Structure formats: C-alpha cells, structure tokens
Structure 1
Amino acid sequence: MLKAYQQQKGGLKSVVVEGEAALPVGALWLDLINPTPDERRKVDINLAMEMPTRADMEEIEISSRLYQEDGGLFMTATVLTQTDTDLPISGAITFVLTAERLVTIRYIDPQPFRSYALRCERSTVTASRADSVLMQLLDAIIDRMADILEKTGADVEAISREIFEPGPALGYRSDKDFQNVLQNLGRKYDLTSKLRESLLTLSRILTFLNQALDAELNKEARVHGITLSRDVASLQDHSTYVSGKLTFLLDATLGLINIEQNTVIKIMSEAAIVLLPPTLLASIWGMNFQYMPELSQPWAYPVALVTMAVSGALPYLFFKRRGWL
C-alpha cells in the first residue's frame, strides 16, 4: 500500500494512491507499507532515485543502512512491534529523506506509525518540511521505546520480588515455579536485547543526520535531532541496567535451583546413612545358612531389632555432630 501525506489546513492529510493514480503534488511524506513492485516503481520514477529492496533493508552493514545517494539520505532502523505479546517482532524500516519529501518503506506496522497517522487525520500534526516529519516520526518511535523499557523494568522488578520474596505459601518451590521464572526472564531478556538493537540503530541514524543535514536549512531539525540523541543515550544506559539485572536474576534463579537440588540430595543422603547399616544387618541375618546359632535364641528377634535401630542412629548422630548433614 502507498499512502501520501500532504499539507492541508495546517496539518497532514493522507491519500491512498491506488492503481495508476499519480502521486499528489506537494506530498511531504510517502509511506510504503508492504509495497508492490508497481508502487515501488512509481516512487522511484517520481523521486528519480532507486528505493532499497527488502533484502537491502535487512543488510546489517553500516554502509548498507546509512548512505547518501542521488541527493537523498537513506537510513534504515530496526523498530519493534507486537511488544505487548510474548513474541515481539523487530523489523527494518527505511527512511529516505530528500529536500522536499520523506519516504518510509516498511513491512511491519509498529504502533508509533499508527499513532502518528491518527494524529495526522485529526490535524494535530504541524509540519511544513520533510525533515520535520522525519524528526516527529523518530520522536514517536523513541517515546514508544521509552514506554516499553519502562514497562519492562517494572516487570523485571516484579520477577525479582517473586524470586527473592517468595512468601509463606511458596516456602518450597516446585520445578514448575522455577520453569515459569526462567521463561519470564528469557522473554524479558529477548525483549531487552531487541530494544537495545533498536536504540543502537536509532542512535546511528541521529548521528548520521546531524552530520548530513545543512546547519542553516535544517536548523530546527538539527536541534530536534540533538535532543533525540540525548534521549536515546539515556534509554541505552537504562537498557544496559535492565539487561544487567536480568543477567543477575538469571544467575540467582539458577543458584536457587542448585540449592533446591542440593537439599533433595541431602535428604536422600540422610536416608541412606540411616537405612544402610540396618539393611546390611538384615541382609546378613536373612541368609539361609543352616548353622546360625544366634537365630535360635529366644532373645534373638528383639536384640536384632535394637541392634538395627542403634546401627542406624549412630552413623546419623556422628555425621550430624561433624556438621556433614
């Protein structure tokens, strides 16, 4: 789909360009969403430059993500979507900035784009230049990243309380409890890693823009970009903190699992220490040899029981006294 946004009554109004329809004159923003070959070709001809393909957008080299060509700035960022689910998705979005237009190429539909498009429809967006639209879009993306990171931090705090403050009802935690904790930690770590990757690409784009934009013609956009760069830097620091805390909680959880396993092994060891000596005596007296004189005595049975009980108690008391149990 190809949507064109043009100035109208102080705001931006969208028009869906379908079929053979020409692009609106004076459109500030062309939004390509899962574009068809014909839609890509139409934009290529209109701007006299070749838009990157999906394969080009997925390249990870800096030279493939940030470059200047045919009078346009080509920038590709990694943006998250479906962050409210257990399976967040990160996808590449390319921004192409020229003197008169901004083109976005994307195969995902993140919330910042939907929110910005809705603001355009409500005439609450004031933008007279393509670089202003770009900065407002980047601002919306960064705001969304901040919200996601804030929620992730709160979720990590809740997991931390679950690990270290189990409460009386969870004095003993089952394998299922630990499995749930590990799954939650894994999901949050995956989300945080994707956030850090996205913030890194946004930081590179803002640095690239600051160097490429003209200091006089794009003064307002450059000032906005510097502010956004500071915001991204602070979010990167916070994401590093959250990532470090997740690593600590993972290590702590694995340590608690190890303690639980050691407790089980300790119980089994105590049972073995108590039961092995009586079992040995019972095995000896249970042999079917013809000549075992002590078994024919009237006191043999009670003495055997007492001996077996003492043989189990003495090793237990000895190990307990030495602090081995």
Structure 2
Amino acid sequence: MIRAYRCDGTVDVILPSDAPTRLADDILWVDLLYPDKTEEQLAETLLAMPLPTRDDLKDIEPSSRLYTDDHGVYMTASLICKAESNAPQLADVAFILGGNRMVTVRYAEPRSFGLFAAALSRNQVSCSTGSVLLMRLLETVVDRTAEVLEIAGARLDALSSDVFIERKLHKSRPPHFLEDKLVDIASYHRLVSKARDSLVSLSRMVSFLASADPVKASEDAKELCHVVAHDVHSLSEHAGFISSNISFMLDASLGLINVEQNAIIKIFSIASVVFLPPTLVASIYGMNFQIMPELNWHFGYPVALIFMVVSAVVPFLFFRWKGWL
C-alpha cells in the first residue's frame, strides 16, 4: 500500500491501477506499507529514486544502514513493535529524504506510525519540509519508546510488590509462585532489551541526520534533531536503570527460591536428626539376642517408649533454643 500525505494532513492512497503520472508538489510524505513488486516499481517511478526492498532491509548490515547518494539520504532504523504482546519485536524501517520529501518503507506496523498519521490528519503537526516532517516522526517514535519503557517500569513495580510486599503480608502462596514470576521477568527483560536496541539504532540515525544537508539547511529541523538526540540519550539511561532493576528482581527471585528450598531441606534435616535417637533405641531393642536383661523387665516396654520420646524431644527443644526452627 502506498499512502501520500500532504502538509495539511490529507492523505491519498495510490493504487497501481489508478496511479498519477507525477506526485503533487504539496506531498511531503510517501509511506510504503508492505509494498509488493508492482508498488515498489511505481513508487520508484514517481519519486525518481531507488527504494530498498524487503530483502534489502533484512540483509543490510549495521555499518551500511546510513548513507547518502545522488538521490537522497538513506537511513534504516530498528523500531519496536508489538510491545503490548508477549513477543515484542524489532522491525527495520527505511527512512529516505529526497526531493524535499520523506519516504518510509516498512514491513511492520509500529504504533508510532499510526499515532503520527492520526496527529497529522488532525493538523497537530506543523511542518513545511520533508526533513522537519521526519524529525516530527522521530519525535513520535521516541515518545512511543518512552511509553513502552514506562509500561515496563510499571509492570516491574507491580512484580516487585508481588514478590516482596505480598510475600510479607501473605506467607502462604501457591506452589511455583516464584518460578512463574521468573517467566514474567524474562518477558520484561525482552521488552526492555528490544527498546534499548531500538534506542541505539535511533541514536545512530539522529547523529547521522545532524550532519545531513537537508537537516542543516533547515533551522527547525536542526533544533528538532537536537531535541530528539537529547530525548534518545535520556531514554537510553532510563532503559539502563530499568534493566538494572530487572537484574535485581531476577537475583532476588532466585535468592528467595533458594531460601525456600533451603527451608524445606532444613525441615527434612531436622526431622531426620529428631527421629534418629528413637530409631536407635528401637533398633537396639529390636535385635534378636538371647541375653537382653531389659526384655525381662515388667515395665521395659513403656520405659523404652518414654526413652524414645525423650530422645526425640530433647533435640527438638535444643533446635528451638538455638533458633534453628
């Protein structure tokens, strides 16, 4: 699908069967979403520039994601998508500045694009050139990444409350409670790591844009580029802070699991020690020797029982006195 956005927010859907011979001068953004071969060739004809294909976006190396040629400025950034799902992903999106227009080629639907298109249609985005429009779009991408990090931070706070505060208030919890929380920690770590990778990609792209001719030619674009770069740097630090909290939660959960396992082992160990003396007494009087004077005692049986009980109670009281129980 090819969408052409004007500076006033109106959008045209360009179909190969009813395509214009040229793009209108007031079109600042051409967005290619899941384009097929026909749509790619049509867009290249209308824009008079080569466009990266899906295979190009997959095969492009990190060192070759940012370059400039005679047609314009080509950039590829990894944006986070499906952040609300259990399997967040990174999608490679191509950004191109050429002929005072911004061109995007994408095979995913990051939520930031939908938010930006909606704001553009409501005339909430003021732009006069493709470079300014690109910086506005990157602002929305960064804002969406900040929202993702806020969601991860809120989920992590709720997880911390479940692990620590609820554990103190309610000591009886379902079996495998902490083991299930490890799965949640892994999902949060995946989300934050994807956000950090996206921020690194955006940081490289914004640094490259700061030296690009279309941005340097516009004061508004330069100022926006500086703001976006500062926001990306701040979010990178915040993502690092959340990652450290996730590592702490992982270590704490594993430590609590270890404590619970040690408590179970301690109970079995104490039980074995408590029942060891009675077992010894029972083993002695269970031997089949002919000469055992205690066997002829009138009160031998109750005395043996009392002796076994006392031999079990004394170690138990000793453990209580030591605070081992």
Same fold, TM exceeding 0.5? yes
The answer for the alignment partner of 2:126 in structure 1 is 126
Deviation at 1:288, TM superposition (A): 4.5
Q: Distance in 1 between matches of 2:168 and 2:62?
A: 53
Deviation at 1:276, TM superposition (A): 1.7
**Cα deviations across residues 157-202 of structure 1 (Å, max 9, x unaligned)?**
2222222212555214444321232122111111110110111111
The answer for the alignment partner of 1:227 in structure 2 is 227
For the pair 1:95 / 2:95, whether they are aligned, the reply is yes
Distance change in 2, residues 1:252/1:318 (3 Å): same
Q: Distance in 2 between matches of 1:305 and 1:60?
A: 82
Please show how residues 128-147 of structure 1 align to structure 2 within 5 Å.
128-147=128-147
Please show how residues 267-278 of structure 1 align to structure 2 within 5 Å.
267-278=267-278
Q: Distance in 1 between matches of 2:150 and 2:34?
A: 30
Give the residue type in structure 1 aligned to 2:65.
R
The answer for the alignment partner of 1:18 in structure 2 is 15
Deviation at 1:323, TM superposition (A): 6.5
Please show how residues 173-322 of structure 1 align to structure 2 within 5 Å.
173-214=173-214, 217-289=217-289, 291-317=291-317
Deviation at 1:43, TM superposition (A): 1.8
* Kept after mapping to 2: 8 A contact 1:49/1:70: no
Give the residue type in structure 2 aligned to 1:111.
R
Instruction: Please state whether the residue corresponding to 1:30 is helix, strand or coil.
Output: strand
* Kept after mapping to 2: 8 A contact 1:28/1:129: yes
**Two-structure CA RMSD over aligned residues (Å):** 2.2
Distance change in 2, residues 1:36/1:257 (3 Å): same
Q: Distance in 1 between matches of 2:56 and 2:64?
A: 7
Q: Distance in 1 between matches of 2:241 and 2:23?
A: 47
* Kept after mapping to 2: 8 A contact 1:156/1:246: yes
Q: Distance in 1 between matches of 2:216 and 2:65?
A: 26
Instruction: Please state whether the residue corresponding to 2:241 is helix, strand or coil.
Output: helix
Instruction: Please state whether the residue corresponding to 1:76 is helix, strand or coil.
Output: strand
* Kept after mapping to 2: 8 A contact 1:2/1:39: yes
The answer for the alignment partner of 1:6 in structure 2 is 6
**Cα deviations across residues 225-281 of structure 1 (Å, max 9, x unaligned)?**
011100111111111111101101111111111111111111111110111221232
Q: Distance in 2 between matches of 1:285 and 1:166?
A: 51
Instruction: Please state whether the residue corresponding to 2:15 is helix, strand or coil.
Output: coil
Structure 1 unpaired stretches of 5+: none
Give the residue type in structure 1 aligned to 2:95.
F
Distance change in 2, residues 1:270/1:242 (3 Å): same
Give the residue type in structure 2 aligned to 1:272.
S
Q: Distance in 2 between matches of 1:149 and 1:215?
A: 28
The answer for the alignment partner of 2:33 in structure 1 is 33
Count of aligned residue pairs for this structure pair: 322
Instruction: Please state whether the residue corresponding to 1:58 is helix, strand or coil.
Output: helix
Q: Distance in 2 between matches of 1:269 and 1:99?
A: 78
The answer for the alignment partner of 2:159 in structure 1 is 159
Q: Distance in 2 between matches of 1:236 and 1:178?
A: 29
Give the residue type in structure 2 aligned to 1:116.
F
* Kept after mapping to 2: 8 A contact 1:77/1:198: yes
**Cα deviations across residues 116-161 of structure 1 (Å, max 9, x unaligned)?**
2222333333322111211111111111111221222222222222
The percent identity for this pair of structures is 40
Deviation at 1:57, TM superposition (A): 1.6
Deviation at 1:12, TM superposition (A): 2.6
The answer for the alignment partner of 2:64 in structure 1 is 64
Deviation at 1:44, TM superposition (A): 2.1
Provide the TM-score with structure 1 as the length reference: 0.91
Give the residue type in structure 1 aligned to 2:303.
V
* Kept after mapping to 1: 8 A contact 2:94/2:104: yes
Please show how residues 45-64 of structure 1 align to structure 2 within 5 Å.
45-59=45-59, 61-64=61-64
